[in-house]
Amino acid sequence: MILNIGPQHPATHGVLRLRIVLDGERIVSADPVIGYMHRGAEKLFEVRDYRQIIVLANRHDWLSAFGNELGVVLAVEHMLGMEIPERATWARTLLAELNRVLSHLMFLGSYPLELGAITPMFYAFREREELQAVLEEASGGRMHYMFNRVGGLKEDLPAGWLGRVREAVTEVRRRLPDIESMLVGNPILRARTEGVGRLSPELVHAYGVSGPIARASGVDVDLRRDAPYLAYAELYAQGGPGRVVTRISGDSLARLEVLLEQVHVSLDLAEACLDRLGSLPQGPVNQRLPKVLKVPEGETYVATENPLGFNGYFLVSRGEKTPWRLKLRSASFSNVQVLREILPGCLVADMVSVLGSMFFVVGDVDK
């Protein structure tokens, strides 16, 4: 039997369409069909200047808008040879890690929901609200922050904001065991995920899978440590709070465990950033820019470790105020491709478990 699942279906994790061939309840082959949310972001980049691009770039993965913005401004700053103020570097790192926790919490709440457990979603959103409140206070936005600028940040952080962030981080850390006990301590969830949807390291490399999914298969790679940007070189140095979370089984449970442990790591990194920002003297958080910002002729590729994996921008400039080409390498696009390899052999009921554990955002796939 050939069965179409999606693009509009509760089990498809967004507007993704799966065309699967079944032999009874067993999946013989699976073909992910993408493009239902295509917005042509890369072509839109080419007709907007470097300030306007940021508002488009932060929307493809709507759960990690700050991380999306970062790739663009880092690429432009690299082309300009621009150094940004130290306070802006540490503030960007702090905001990126808070945004990473928000993204992870969304998947930690929604994945059990797809398996039939509704309660973890409420707990995950309770913690998200704590962090979204401080991010909204600083940037003015709840999802699309638009807080990065070429040369630094839009404006300085509010007075007393660091203290409120520390309180929020402490509160989230205190209540995380509630979510953990419902997830890894749940025998039903464990039965639905353990040994299901195994992804081998060879397939990870063959398909360019990255992020928590790759690390759950034992592929020890994290750009924050391996190709550090912002303040990560110091945070991931010997004795620093940064560490790479890995598992070896590569199944749905391993992917969930990696995501859960990464929340703890990001909270550790956020606290280290708060300590550093508290010790830095007051000063600028951005550079003065010309009214018309033109990037020198040339090209560069900048990749950042987004919550879902590698987020890369290949920027080609011809010396004008708009990019000649800005190619986006989104994490979800590569992560979804591998479904055609790991779904065959699974039962239909396990398909939902595998899909949910791949942690993708459809806008990030379709761009």
Q: Give the chain's domains with CATH numbers.
A: 2-360 (1.10.645.10)
212 contacts 259 by C-beta, under 8 angstroms: yes
Q: Is residue 57 within 8 Å of residue 67, measured between CB atoms? A: no
Nearest to 12 by CA among 341, 366, 351: 351
Alpha-carbon distance 277 to 111, whole Å? 35
Residues of the chain predicted below pLDDT 50: none
Q: What is the pLDDT of residue 38?
A: 83
pLDDT tens, residue by residue, 307-353: 999 999 999 999 999 999 999 999 999 999 999 999 999 999 899 89
Q: Strand 26-33 vs strand 152-153: parallel, antiparallel, or unpaired?
A: unpaired
Contact 286, 157 (CB under 8 A): no
**Whole-angstrom Cα distance, residue 341 to residue 288?**
50
Q: Is the peptide bond before 228 cis (omega within 30 degrees of 0)?
A: no
Position 108 scores a pLDDT of 93
Rounded distance, CA 23 to CA 92, Å? 51
User: Which 8-state DSSP code applies to residue 62?
Assistant: T
Q: How far apart are CA 51 and CA 73, in angstroms?
A: 9
Tokens representing 352 are 């939902």
pLDDT at position 10 is: 64
* Predicted pLDDT of residue 13: 67
The pLDDT tens digits of the residues spanning 207-227 come to: 999 999 999 999 999 999 999
Q: Is 163 helix (H, G, I), strand (E, B) or coil?
A: helix
What is residue 177's predicted lDDT score, i.e. its pLDDT? 92
